[in-house]
Amino acid sequence: MFENHKAPEADKILRVMKMFAEDTRADKIDLGVGVYRTPEGRTPVLAAVKQAEARLLESQETKGYVALAGDPGFHGAMRDLALGDAVAAGRVAGLATPGGTGAVRQAFELIRIARPEAVVHCSAPTWPNHESILDTLQMPWRSYRYYDAATGGVDRDGMLEDLSQVAAGDVVLLHGCCHNPTGADLAPEDWSAIAETLLKAGAVPMVDLAYQGFGLGLEEDVAGLRRLASAVPEMLLTISASKNFGLYRDRVGVLLAVAETPAVAAPVQDTMAWLNRQAYAFPPDHGARVVTEILGDAGLRALWEEELAGMCGRVRSMRVALAEALRAETGHAKFDFLLGHHGMFSRLPASPEQVAALREAHAVYMIGDGRINMAGLVPDNVAPAARAIAVVLE
């Protein structure tokens, strides 16, 4: 079976993770994979998570199966966090999944079942795994204009023009906030314009929300999503708790499918549970329960919000420090576009050769498309990172 087997190529994020791990230089700087790090370079377990886990350890009396779709209490907690009261709860089907990627995969599977001919439209660029999973499922997808490298912002007119030409029944994949890989987010009025455009086209939005709380704040980051959700009859929403709860390895995600009415949502809920059964039967529960415990307890929730604001603030301060250091290094403000971005990422206007030069000559690691993770910066490495970027990109 395996004599002629060739492994698929790892995606560009995983390739950078591997190269960084293998680099023995002491002063290497990791601006690659999108994980949060403290100034000491650790990805910490949040205190709110530790406390919730301690409570669970104390109170949990069974490890018996929960349900194919996971715990409805978890779906509800995540729905409230992301959607607030933008959509009536009865219209929302929920599915616990292994991480946000599991939710994306199950959302695509659901689209394939519900509307096999649908084309999924992804922003140009998008998280590489969106495209890779679609390819793996042999689902048709296309790109719509999104990032304007000349301004470092969103190509609003190009995007709306492309979305207006989407076929009825197609799916349009959007990033809820902290666009990955560019950091260029939609303004609230862009979300209203997208809602209008998709309604006219008869297309269904799918929103991937992996960084709620890492942009402008927990509520601010989903204001646009809520505008969209309250305007459209149907929507898919995939949520990750990896970053904002720091639960990366526990794999905590949820897929929410919004249907026009509760009666329409019911069979969708059953299909989603069936999809879990086909993939891994019951979804992981531990991390989902930790999240539910935190969100449902005023004290834990306040602690979590404080810790999340702290992580977000640190990333933001590194963003500002990098922009300032680049200004000092280059003597101009060309890199000030970084200040308009949200979340962990921004995309530098670097060619693949320049990315390679930064890696090889300066031990500064970023994704091949120029994506940098601000959480890899600490006060001590901002200046050398900026110097290297200035030397190679100028």
CB atoms within 10 A of CB 185: 23
Return d(Cα 350, Cα 365) in angstroms, integer. Answer: 12
Q: Over the Cα atoms of the chain, what is R_g? A: 21
Confirm or reject binding of residue 238 to ligand LMR (CB under 6 A).
no
CB atoms within 10 A of CB 43: 13
Type of residue numbered 182: T
Give 129 or 330: the residue with its C-beta nearer to ligand LMR.
Answer: 129
Active site includes 127? yes
Using CA atoms, how far residue 105 sits from 56, 118, 239, 317, in Å, is: 29, 15, 12, 34
Q: How far is the CB of 242 from ligand LMR (least distance, A)?
A: 7
Give 69 or 127: the residue with its C-beta nearer to ligand LMR.
Answer: 127
Q: How far is the CB of 179 from ligand LMR (least distance, A)?
A: 11
Active site includes 141? no
Give me 91's structure tokens.
């219209």
Q: Which of residues 175-194 bind ligand LMR (CB under 6 A)?
A: 180
Give the phi and the psi of residue 144 in degrees, each rounded to 5.
Answer: -115, 150
Q: Which residues are within 8 A (CB) of 263 and not within 5 positions of it... i.e. 6 or more apart? A: none
Q: Which residues are within 8 A (CB) of 16 and not within 5 positions of it... i.e. 6 or more apart? A: 32, 33, 365, 366, 367, 368
Active site includes 18? no
Q: Which of residues 128-157 bind ligand LMR (CB under 6 A)?
A: 129
What does DSSP assign to residue 82? H
> For ligand LMR, which residue has the nearest CB?
34
Return d(Cα 192, Cα 198) in angstroms, integer. Answer: 10
Give 13 or 92: the residue with its C-beta nearer to ligand LMR.
Answer: 13
Total number of residues that touch ligand LMR (CB under 6 A): 6
The only residue of 33, 89, 193, 357 in contact with ligand LMR, by rule CB under 6 A: 33
Cα angle value 148/154/155 (rounded, 5°): 60
Q: How far is the CB of 255 from ligand LMR (least distance, A)?
A: 17
The only residue of 20, 74, 108, 127 in contact with ligand LMR, by rule CB under 6 A: 127
Q: How far is the CB of 269 from ligand LMR (least distance, A)?
A: 27
Q: How far is the CB of 369 from ligand LMR (least distance, A)?
A: 11
Q: How far is the CB of 208 from ligand LMR (least distance, A)?
A: 10
The three-class DSSP label of residue 153 is: strand
Give 66 or 287: the residue with its C-beta nearer to ligand LMR.
Answer: 287
On the 0-12 / 13-18 / 19+ scale of CB atoms within 10 A, 331 is exposed
Residue tagged active-site, from 30, 48, 107, 127: 127
Confirm or reject binding of residue 13 to ligand LMR (CB under 6 A).
yes
Confirm or reject binding of residue 34 to ligand LMR (CB under 6 A).
yes
Give 35 or 149: the residue with its C-beta nearer to ligand LMR.
Answer: 35
Residue tagged active-site, from 103, 162, 243, 273: 243
Active site includes 241? no
Give 127 or 141: the residue with its C-beta nearer to ligand LMR.
Answer: 127
363 torsion bin: left (phi>0), alpha (psi -120 to 50), beta (else): left
Confirm or reject binding of residue 36 to ligand LMR (CB under 6 A).
no
Q: Is the dihedral of CA 375, 378, 383, 385 positive or negative?
A: negative
Confirm or reject binding of residue 304 to ligand LMR (CB under 6 A).
no
Give 324 or 369: the residue with its C-beta nearer to ligand LMR.
Answer: 369
Q: How far is the CB of 14 from ligand LMR (least distance, A)?
A: 7
Q: Hey, which residues are catalytic here?
A: 127, 208, 210, 243
- Footprint on this chain of ligand LMR (rule: CB under 6 A): 13, 33-34, 127, 129, 180
